[in-house]
């Protein structure tokens, strides 16, 4: 300190500043050090709770899969795929349910892709941004969360009774199409949104019209995402039993549908029929049917992953 005017010289000033900074650092370190134990404890508790929940869910799933495999593997042979349902468990098979599911899936795929992807293209690329389109988007998002049993009631009232289609494959396919069309629209719109605007601007700069840009550039680039959404939606539709039960699908069909207007059964309906029987042998057959249905759903999900990775990388 200067004894004349009482001010600090440069060296003393720097020492004071460094002392203040050191005190601030020490106070911060002590603050973090005091909270470190509590934060680590909370982190460990949270991690342990999540790990326990995951292991518990996987444990239940593994137990169900093992019990189903143990009960159903005995009947998993070629006769099970080539025989019709029967009153006798030793003669019962899954043929009519497999063919009915194939009919149902083909028609559902046709209707849902036609209307779902078309609506997504219109809303995302061609429609004007106004209150009407905003209301449509909100309605689609709401319909995607409606329980499947509501669609069964809608199909029963409109397709079976009002349009007079009866309990046919066509009525079931239209009902399942209503179930998955909102999901396909949402997935397709997300895939279209992922296409960069530079691709659209480049097409416009070369003189392409709006429809030519969408058809030749935007849609091919969005196809991997659209295909993934369609496949996953179809897997959900093929595993639904509630709409078909409410629709009045037959639980015992000893023939293969020959046209869209024929009666039908499906794999979930046949499994439901076998589980409702009191005989233990039919419960084993239901487990075999569950194995087949799980295999079908696994193939669908694997195809979605393969298409998205392989096709997307190629594009």
Whole-prediction pTM: 0.76
DSSP state of 92: -
In angstroms, the CA 212 to CA 86 distance is: 55
* Local confidence pLDDT in tens for the 315 residues of the chain: 444 444 545 555 565 556 555 655 555 555 555 566 777 888 888 999 999 999 999 999 899 888 888 887 877 888 888 888 888 877 888 888 888 888 888 899 899 989 999 999 988 888 888 888 888 888 888 888 888 888 888 888 888 888 888 888 888 889 999 999 999 999 999 988 888 888 888 888 888 888 888 888 888 888 888 888 888 888 888 888 888 887 766 666 777 888 888 888 888 888 888 888 888 888 888 888 888 888 888 887 787 777 777 766 665
Task: Calculate ∠ Cα 110-94-259, nearest 5°.
Answer: 40
C-alpha distances out from residue 170 to 12, 13, 203, Å: 93, 90, 41
Name, in order, each residue with C-beta under 8 angstroms of 287's C-beta and a sequence gap of 6 or more: 67, 68, 69, 71, 72
How many CA within 13 A on the CB side of residue 16? 8
Residue 230, pLDDT score = 87
Cβ–Cβ under 8 Å, residues 90 and 101: no
Residue 51, pLDDT score = 92
Residue 6, pLDDT score = 46
Count of Cβ atoms closer than 10 Å to residue 82 Cβ: 11
DSSP state of 74: G
């Amino acid at each position: 300190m200067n004894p004349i005017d009482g001010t600090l010289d440069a060296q003393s000033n720097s020492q004071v500043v460094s002392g203040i900074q050191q005190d601030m650092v020490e106070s911060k370190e002590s603050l973090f050090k005091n909270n470190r134990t509590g934060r680590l404890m909370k982190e460990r508790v949270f991690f342990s709770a999540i790990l326990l929940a995951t292991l518990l869910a996987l444990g239940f799933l593994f137990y169900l899969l093992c019990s189903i495999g143990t009960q159903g593997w005995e009947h998993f042979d070629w006769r099970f795929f080539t025989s019709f349902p029967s009153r006798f468990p030793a003669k019962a098979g899954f043929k009519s349910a497999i063919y009915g599911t194939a009919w149902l899936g083909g028609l559902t795929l046709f209707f849902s892709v036609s209307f779902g992807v078309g609506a997504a293209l219109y809303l995302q690329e061609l429609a004007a941004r106004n209150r009407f389109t905003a209301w449509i988007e909100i309605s689609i998002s709401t319909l995607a969360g409606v329980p499947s049993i509501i669609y069964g009631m809608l199909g029963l009232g409109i397709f079976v009774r009002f349009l007079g289609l009866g309990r046919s494959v066509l009525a079931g396919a239209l009902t399942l199409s209503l179930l998955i069309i909102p999901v396909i629209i949402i997935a397709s719109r997300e895939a279209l949104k992922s296409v960069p605007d530079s691709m659209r601007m480049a097409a416009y700069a070369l003189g392409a019209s709006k429809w030519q840009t969408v058809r030749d550039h935007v849609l091919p680039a969005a196809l991997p995402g659209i295909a993934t959404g369609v496949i996953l939606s179809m897997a959900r539709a093929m595993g639904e039993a509630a709409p078909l039960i409410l629709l009045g699908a037959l639980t015992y069909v000893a023939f293969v549908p020959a046209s869209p207007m024929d009666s039908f059964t499906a794999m979930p309906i046949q499994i439901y029929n076998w589980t409702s029987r009191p005989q233990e042998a039919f419960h084993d057959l239901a487990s075999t049917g569950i194995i087949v249905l799980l295999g079908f759903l696994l193939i669908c999900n694997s195809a979605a992953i393969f298409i998205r990775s392989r096709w997307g990388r190629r594009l």
